[in-house]
A = this chain, B = another copy of it.
Amino acid sequence: MDYEQILKDIKPTEKEQQDIDAMSDRIVNYLTETCKKEGIDAKISVVGSVAKHTALKGKSDIDVFMAFSLDVDLDTLKEKGLYLAHKCSDAFDGNASQHFASHPYLTTDIDGYEVDLVPCYEIEDGSQLKSAVDRTILHTRYVKANLTDEGCDEVLLLKKFMDMTGTYGSEFKVGGFAGYLCELLIIKYGSFEETLNAACMWQYGHVIDLEGYATSSQFDDPLIVIDPTDKNRNVAAALRLNKCCEFIQSARNYLASDNKKDYFYPLDKSLDKEDILDELRKRGSDFIAIKFDIPEMPLDTLHPQLKMTASSLAEKVNNEEFNVFSSSYSSNEIDSAVILLEMASSKLNDIKINKGPKIFLNKACNNFTNKYGPENCHVMDDFLVHAQKREFSDAVKFIESIFTDKNIRKIKVGKNLRNTIINSYKFISVDDLASDEFYLQFLDDFLNPGQYIVR
C-alpha cells in the first residue's frame, strides 16, 4: 500500500504548515507581549492538532490557550482571558464570536484561519483540573514529547481512515474516536497498520495503559485508554460501543481489501431518488416518518435528545405489540429533524387481553369482576382477564396519541424537543422525504447501514 500517495492528499503541504506555524507564532507573540505590557500573568501556547502536527489538510484550526496560575480566581480568569482574546482578535482584524465550553472562549476568523482563544488554568497533572479544557495543554505536551515525525503521518492516516469510515470524532453526533485518542493509539502501536492489526483482536474492555498506571479496573467501557496525563481518566470514555465495533470491523475489511486506497476517500456514489425509493419499497415495510421543527440548541444537545426520543418512541410502539423492524433519526441541523420507523408490521387486530389479578387474590378478583362484569371475564392460566377492544390497531394512530400534551410524558422525549414535536410534527411519506437532498442521504444511509465501513 502506497501511503505516500495518500499523505499527499491529506497532509498539509510544507508551505501550508509554514504559514500556519507563522500565524500561530504571531498570535502567541502578540498575546505574550500584551501580557507582559499589561502585567497579566498568563502563559500563552498553541495546543491541539496544529501544535502537534497531526491536523488533516483543511482542518487546521489554531487553538491558542492562555494559562493562568491556579491561584487566580475564576472570575478574574474569565475577565482577563476574554479581554486578551478580544484584544488579540481586534489587533488581527479578526471576526469574533464568543462561545461557552466549560468556561467562555472566543472563536475568531483571522486571515481565513479559525482561531480559538481559550483561557484556562495552568496545571501539572490531571488531579489539579479545574475545567475540562485545562488538560489540553498536558495532552499537547505529552503527544509532542512522544510522537515522532513519522508517527504524525501515521496519525493522519488513522484519522482520515476513521473519518471516511464514519468513526472519527468524539462529538455526540458521531460518538467516535477523538483526535487525542488516535494519537495515543499510534504512540502505542507505532503505525496505522499496526493499530488496525491490533484492533482486530481487541476484546470488550481492551486496556491501553501507556504509563503503566494500572488503574483500568475502575472503568467498564468497550475500550479503556488510560490518559497518560490523568490516571483516573479513560480517554475512550465517550466512544460508543457501536462505533468501537465499527472501527474494529472496518479494520478487518480494510486489511482484507484490494481497494485499500478507497478507504481514505469519500464514498464514490451518486444518489438517485427513484433507486432509493425502489429499494425502500422492496422491503415490504410500512415506513412511518415523522418530521418536526428543531429549536435553537447546541448540536451536542440536539443529537442525544433526538436519539433518546427516537429510541424511546420505538420502544413504546413495540410495547404496544406493533413490530418495529428498525428506527433511526436525522437532523439537517438547520430547521428540521426526522424520526423514521420501519415497521415489520404496523397493523394489529382489534382485540386485546386486559390482564387482571392472579386468581388466588380474592379481593382483587372481586374488584376486577365488579369493574368489568363477571360475564366479561375469563381465566387464563392463573390470571383473571378481560378481553377488550384494542385502543390502537394502527401504529400511526398510536403515535398521534403519544405526540400530545397529555401523553408525551409516556416516552422519554428530549426536553428541548417536547414542545416543538407536539406543535410541529407531521407524518411525511418517504417519497416526500426523499425529495429533500439532505434526507435522501439519510435514507440511503438507512438502507445501507454498513456502507461506510467497507469499500
**Is A283's CB within 8 Å of the partner chain B?**
yes
Residues of B within 8 A of A377 (CB): 249, 450, 454
Kindly state the interface size class of chain A when it binds its partner: 35 or more
Nearest to A351 among chain B residues (CB) is B283
A362, B282: Cβ atoms under 8 Å? no
Give, as a whole number of angstroms, the nearest-CB distance from A321 to chain B.
Answer: 6
List the B side residues contacting A387 at CB < 8 Å. 449
Is A335 at the interface (CB under 8 A from chain B)?
Answer: no
Q: B residues within 8 A CB of A257?
A: 374
| Chain B contacts for A222, CB-based, 8 A | 382
Contact A249 B349, beta carbon cutoff 8 Å? no
Query: B323–A382 contact, CB under 8 A?
Result: no
Residue pair B382, A242 in contact (C-beta under 8 Å):
yes
Query: Does B379 lie within 8 Å of A245, measured CB to CB?
Result: yes
Docked-complex contact A374 and B253, CB < 8 angstroms: yes
B252 touches A285 (CB 8 A): no
A7 interfacial contact with B, CB 8 Å: no
Cβ B284 vs Cβ A351 within 8 A: yes
| Stretch in A133-141, A195-203, A224-232, A432-440 with 4+ CB within 8 Å of B | A195-203
Any chain B CB within 8 A of the CB of A239?
no
A43 on interface, CB distance cutoff 8 Å? no
Q: How far is the CB of A315 from chain B (nearest CB, A)?
A: 15
Asked whether, in the complex, the Cβ of A378 is within 8 Å of the Cβ of B450, the reply is: yes
Closest beta carbon of chain B to A108's beta carbon, Å: 40
> CB distance B349 to A256 under 8 Å?
no
Contact indicator A345/B325 (Cβ below 8 Å): no
A242 CA to B349 CA, complexed, in Å? 26
B351 touches A204 (CB 8 A): no
Residues of B within 8 A of A245 (CB): 359, 379, 381-383
Q: Can you tell how many copies of this chain the complex includes? A: 2
- Give Cα A453–Cα B241 distance, bound, in whole angstroms: 54
A246 touches B369 (CB 8 A): no
CB of A293 within 8 A of chain B? no
- In the complex the two chains form, is A349's CB within 8 Å of B343's CB? yes
A302 at interface (Cβ–Cβ under 8 A)?
no
A453 → B minimal CB distance (Å): 7
Asked if A348 is an interface residue, CB under 8 A from chain B, the answer is yes
Within 8 A of B (CB), among A343-369: 343-345, 347-352, 359-360, 362, 365-366, 369
Q: Mark A361-401, 1 if CB is under 8 A from B, else 0.
A: 01001100100001111111111100100000100000000
A379 CA to B347 CA in the complex, in Å? 29
A248 within 8 A of B: yes
Nearest Cβ distance between residue A53 and chain B, in whole angstroms? 32
Q: How far is the CA of A344 from the CA of B134 in the complex (A)?
A: 58
Contact of A154 with B by CB under 8 A: no
Report chain B residues within 8 Å CB of A153: none
User: A444 near B: Cβ within 8 Å?
Assistant: no
Contact status A325-B344, CB under 8 Å = no
On whether the beta carbons of A284 and B242 are closer than 8 Å, the reply is: no
- Cβ-defined contact, B249 with A359, below 8 A: yes
Which B-chain residue is minimally distant from A370 (CB atoms)? B256
Q: Out of B246, B284, B350, B383, name the residue touching A349 (CB < 8 Å).
A: B284
Contact with B along A230-263 (1 / 0, CB 8 A): 0000000000011011101100110011000000
Asked if A122 CB lies within 8 Å of chain B CBs, one says no
B252, A369: Cβ atoms under 8 Å?
yes
Cα-based distance from A352 to B380 in the complex (angstroms): 32
Is A116 part of the binding interface, using a Cβ–Cβ cutoff of 8 Å? no
Known: A365-B249, A381-B245, A453-B379. Is A323-B350 also a contact (CB below 8 A)?
no
Give the chain B neighbours of A253 by CB distance below 8 A: 369, 374
Q: Once bound together, how far apart are the Cα atoms of A248 and B361, in whole Å? A: 11
Assembled-state Cα–Cα distance A229/B6 (Å):
91
A378 touches B200 (CB 8 A): no
How far is it, in angstroms, between the C-alpha of A244 and the C-alpha of B203 when the chains are bound? 52
What are 11 pairs between A and B in contact, CB < 8 Å? Answer: A241-B382, A242-B381, A245-B382, A249-B377, A249-B384, A257-B374, A283-B349, A283-B351, A285-B351, A325-B352, A375-B454
A residues within 8 Å of B by Cβ?
200-204, 222, 241-242, 244-246, 248-249, 252-253, 256-257, 282-286, 321, 323, 325, 342-345, 347-352, 359-360, 362, 365-366, 369, 374-384, 387, 393, 449-451, 453-454
